């Protein structure tokens, strides 16, 4: 199930927040665990050369983190709290994506920039994922980070949508956050749930989950003690919902500070899940065998390639039905990282010569272009596998798909093409000739 759809279904209560056979964690706003010892020591000037320290804070998450909300506000809070430190952000948030992509793009988007602190936010977009997958991916994020930089502190943060609030108000974390808690507990990682106060107020009928902000004094007075949290049940208003998220951070920091000992190198214990995604790799689609005459688009000449140059290793556009991309890899997992949008088409995906699986690179959100993924195969035998991706000529009713969200085709020429735009290969394994 697509993460954006998961958020939508959760927000209207159509997707269960928990599975009966998966134990839910007790709802607590903060579990400090071993704290953030290296981040706080550097911020407080405990170690360093005496020069003004620089601290890089990484934010790996979905669209709630991509907003100019808690991410921007937390960085500003750190800067105000520690004026002698130069803070900068590593903004690695991509809307509509979960930990299953985050673990593959972690090295490129975050670790290559050497963060001192990493916030990870996927509790909403992982809402429809199986708990074991969440654990494998989140553990992969932790293990990759500490293999590359054992001085980098990590903090998991949990956001929510309207459909999750009753579970939280009832004293339990929803399924995704509960799965993440297992990883955090295993590695001593502090966690902050942004939504406890929101959920408490919601239970009291004091939260408007889907409303515009009041624009006049009269409209503000009419609200009384109610909070306009979000315009869409999911993405908080920067002025209100995201302010509440920041307040959860500031309330949690004293306890995290008390739990933080001396600076240390984070050590990796035995893995929680033997098949976790520590070995996840993002490779360029240009490493595959491309159709004759097809080459990666030049970001200096192609607007779409330029838009995603900081995320995709390359971007290829297949436009002619029958064009094929082929490659072989030795490993256990393979997925494609691509751009979908108005011009999306259908692709026949063949793994190891089996029956082709048709994947449509267009959905009800495709009024604009965005990053996306699809899985070719997972938990495969650790052997050499062949992958074939063929652009199909199939026509399909894009208007009917858009109508699922009451969207319409604005300009027919934008939707007329049926293309495939891959940019990266997401592998657990390695390419072979």
| 366-416 residue pLDDT tens | 999 999 999 999 999 999 999 999 999 999 999 999 999 999 999 999 999
In the structure, what pLDDT confidence band is assigned to residue 295 with cuts at 50, 70 and 90? very high
**Where is average pLDDT lowest: 16-20, 53-57, 193-197?**
16-20
Mean pLDDT value of segment 408-429 = 97
Which of these, 338, 314, 325, 328, lies nearest to 292 by C-alpha position?
325
User: In this model, does residue 15 exceed pLDDT 60?
Assistant: no
The fraction of the chain above a pLDDT of 70, given in percent, is 94
User: In this model, does residue 48 exceed pLDDT 90?
Assistant: no
- Residue 163: C-alpha distances to residues 10, 63, 179, 192, 328 (Å): 5, 17, 18, 19, 42
The residues spanned by each domain of the chain are: 3-259, 279-432
**Where is average pLDDT lowest: 51-55, 296-300, 381-385?**
51-55
Mean pLDDT value of segment 256-279 = 97
User: In this model, does residue 18 exceed pLDDT 70?
Assistant: no
| 95-144 residue pLDDT tens | 999 999 999 999 999 999 999 999 999 999 999 999 999 999 999 999 99
Domain 279-432 has CATH 3.40.630.30: no
In the structure, what pLDDT confidence band is assigned to residue 418 with cuts at 50, 70 and 90? very high
Q: What CATH number belongs to 3-259? A: 3.40.50.1110
Q: What is the pLDDT of residue 46?
A: 64
Can you read off the two tokens belonging to residue 65?
Answer: 């983190």
Cα gap 298→287, rounded to integer Å:
16
Q: What is the pLDDT of residue 47?
A: 55
In the structure, what pLDDT confidence band is assigned to residue 53 with cuts at 50, 70 and 90? confident
Can you read off the two tokens belonging to residue 58?
Answer: 């990484």
What is the average pLDDT score of the chain?
A: 94
Cα gap 7→233, rounded to integer Å:
9
Q: What is the pLDDT of residue 11?
A: 36
Contact 244, 237 (CB under 8 A): no
| 201-249 residue pLDDT tens | 999 999 999 999 999 999 999 999 999 999 999 999 999 999 999 999 9
Name the 3-class secondary structure at 9: helix
User: In this model, does residue 50 exceed pLDDT 70?
Assistant: no
Give the H/E segment covering residue 208. Answer: strand 207-208
Sequential DSSP letters for 40-86: HHHHTTSSS-SSPPEEEEEEEESHHHHSSSHHHHHHHHHHHH-TTSE
């Amino acid at each position: 199930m697509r993460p954006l759809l998961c958020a939508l279904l959760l927000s209207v209560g159509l997707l269960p927040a928990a599975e009966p056979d998966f134990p839910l964690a007790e709802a607590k706003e903060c579990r400090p665990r071993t704290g953030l010892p290296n981040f706080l020591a550097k911020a407080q000037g405990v170690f360093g050369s005496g020069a003004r320290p620089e601290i890089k804070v990484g934010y790996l998450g979905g669209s709630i983190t991509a907003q100019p909300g808690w991410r921007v506000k937390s960085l500003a809070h750190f800067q105000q709290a520690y004026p002698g430190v130069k803070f900068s952000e590593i903004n690695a948030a991509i809307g509509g994506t979960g930990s299953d992509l985050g673990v593959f793009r972690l090295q490129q988007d975050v670790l290559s920039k050497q963060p001192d602190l990493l916030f990870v936010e996927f509790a909403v977009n992982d809402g429809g994922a199986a708990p074991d997958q969440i654990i494998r991916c989140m553990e992969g994020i932790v293990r990759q980070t500490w293999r590359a930089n054992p001085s980098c502190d990590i903090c998991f943060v949990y956001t929510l949508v309207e459909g999750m609030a009753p579970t939280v108000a009832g004293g339990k974390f929803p399924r995704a956050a509960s799965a993440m808690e297992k990883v955090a507990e295993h590695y001593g990682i502090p966690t902050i749930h942004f939504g406890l106060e929101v959920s408490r107020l919601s239970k009291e009928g004091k939260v408007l989950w889907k409303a515009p902000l009041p624009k006049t004094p009269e409209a503000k007075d009419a609200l009384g003690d109610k909070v306009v949290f979000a315009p869409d049940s999911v993405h908080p208003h920067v002025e209100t919902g995201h302010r509440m998220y920041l307040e959860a951070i500031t309330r949690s920091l004293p306890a995290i500070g008390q739990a933080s000992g001396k600076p240390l190198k984070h050590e990796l214990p035995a893995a929680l899940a033997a098949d976790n995604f520590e070995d996840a790799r993002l490779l360029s689609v240009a490493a595959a065998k491309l159709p004759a005459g097809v080459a990666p688009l030049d970001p200096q000449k192609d607007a779409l390639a330029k838009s995603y140059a900081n995320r995709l290793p390359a971007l290829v556009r297949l436009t002619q039905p029958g064009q094929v991309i082929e490659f072989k890899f030795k490993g256990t997992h393979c997925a494609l990282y691509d751009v979908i949008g108005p011009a999306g088409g259908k692709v026949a995906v063949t793994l190891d010569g089996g029956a082709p699986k048709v994947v449509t690179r267009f959905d009800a959100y495709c009024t604009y272009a965005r990053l996306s993924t699809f899985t070719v195969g997972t938990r495969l035998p650790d052997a050499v596998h062949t992958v074939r991706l063929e652009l199909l000529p199939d026509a399909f009713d894009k208007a009917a798909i858009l109508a699922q969200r009451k969207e319409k085709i604005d300009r027919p020429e934008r939707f007329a093409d049926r293309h495939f735009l891959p940019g990266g290969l997401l592998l657990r394994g390695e390419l072979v000739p």
